[in-house]
Amino acid sequence: MNTRRMICTLAIVVVMLLGQRLGRAQDGREQPDLTIDAGARTAVIEGALKHLNSSYVFPETAKKMEQAVRDRVARKEYDQITSAKTLATTLQTHLQEVSHDKHLRVLYSADTIPVERDREPEPAELARQLEFMRTVNFGFEKVERLPGNIGYIDLRGFQPAQFGAETVVAAMNFLANTDAMIIDLRRNGGGDPAMVALISSYLFGSEPVHLNDLYFRPNDSTRQWWTLPYVPGKRYGDRKAVYVLTSKRTFSAAEEFTYNLKNLKRATIVGETTGGGAHPGGPRRINEHFAIWVPSGRAINPISKTNWEGAGVKPDVDVPADQALKVSHIAAMTKVLETVGEGERQHAIKQAIENVQKELDEMKTGPKRNP
């Protein structure tokens, strides 16, 4: 799939996922439902099973999902469903009960889902997607320097590297002179593995480091991902401490980033166990209102020889997500303090640690807050 078509498809999927997960259309209103009949139900079920059998990463699991659904069809469990939304959520639940795969989703869209074509997107389509990525700053919600000269990045998504690279360079250059870095993935649902590799490259030296492999069933291929031997701007290097913040919402490519750095012992993971989705894939159109996201690949870490599917990535420091930033900030400043001699800066860092500790203590005794 070429770059432009990939971005167009990705954008369609984002809209569909938002509609499915939040039940809302792009304009914020409740997505209208559709009434379906027996023929429509059958078409959706058969279409979903066909795509799973042809592309799901584990063929034997696809067969088990098919059998489970056909058993339900024989028991007439779907016969009373006349709501398109209900069919999508019900079928998804039944498929996930067998596969336990959180990437697998049955998607309903009130708007017509475009037919998949092997073509370049229209200029207007590409412009809309680029505009969306620009308005979310290519995933970089916040970049700042915290007390104690600690760098902080609030990264909400791994947008395509070929479009977000300049923002990465700007962020890493801004934080190049900090003494430790915190990368906040607590609200990050994933994205592009190339962006994972690009950001990771700043955290190592120039010698390439093997990060992850992705195997895909449809063409029986494996893609290796390594750090880059050259990056624009300044490398952060492999000596300064890095902390990665996680929550139950951390998912997919954000989990890969976390899992890679944890296995390479390049970062300390602080927060909650992540969502547990290690099977990449893509959308398959069933008809004009239904599609299925088929996980057609799996991650294979070069160190563990496995991945985080189902189990999630367990943190090194297990704390509630809303406390993770304070905990990691204190840990980072304490580590920096070990390298600072007597003087004004040592006093300033000690005072900053005391201030953040007070804030953390207040959080522990007060009502729970979202990160």
pLDDT, one tens digit per residue, over 282-295 is 999 999 999 999 99
Look-up: residue for tokens 């398959």? 284
Is residue 249 situated within a structural domain?
yes
Q: What is the mean pLDDT of the chain?
A: 91
Which 8-state DSSP code applies to residue 267?
-
- Domains: count for the chain: 2
Is residue 13 situated within a structural domain?
yes
CATH number for 227: 3.90.226.10
Which 8-state DSSP code applies to residue 27?
T
Q: Which of 300, 321, 342 is the last residue of a domain?
A: 321
Q: What is the pLDDT of residues 43-73, one digit of tens each?
A: 999 999 999 999 999 999 999 999 999 999 9
**What CA–CA distance (Å, rounded) separates 25 from 105?**
17
Quick one: 74 and 161 in the same domain?
A: no
pLDDT on residue 125: 79
Quick one: 147 and 50 in the same domain?
A: no
Is residue 345 situated within a structural domain?
no
Quick one: 176 and 277 in the same domain?
A: yes
DSSP string for residues in 283-298: EEE-SSSEEEEEE-EE
Of 169, 176, 323, 167, whose CA–CA distance to 245 is shortest? 323
Q: What is the pLDDT of residues 161-209, one digit of tens each?
A: 999 999 999 999 999 999 999 999 999 999 999 999 999 999 999 999 9
Domain of residue 41 covers 3-108
Of 249, 367, 266, 271, whose CA–CA distance to 325 is shortest? 271
Of 243, 257, 230, 232, whose CA–CA distance to 153 is shortest? 243
pLDDT on residue 118: 63
Quick one: 159 and 260 in the same domain?
A: yes
Is residue 347 situated within a structural domain?
no
Quick one: 27 and 173 in the same domain?
A: no
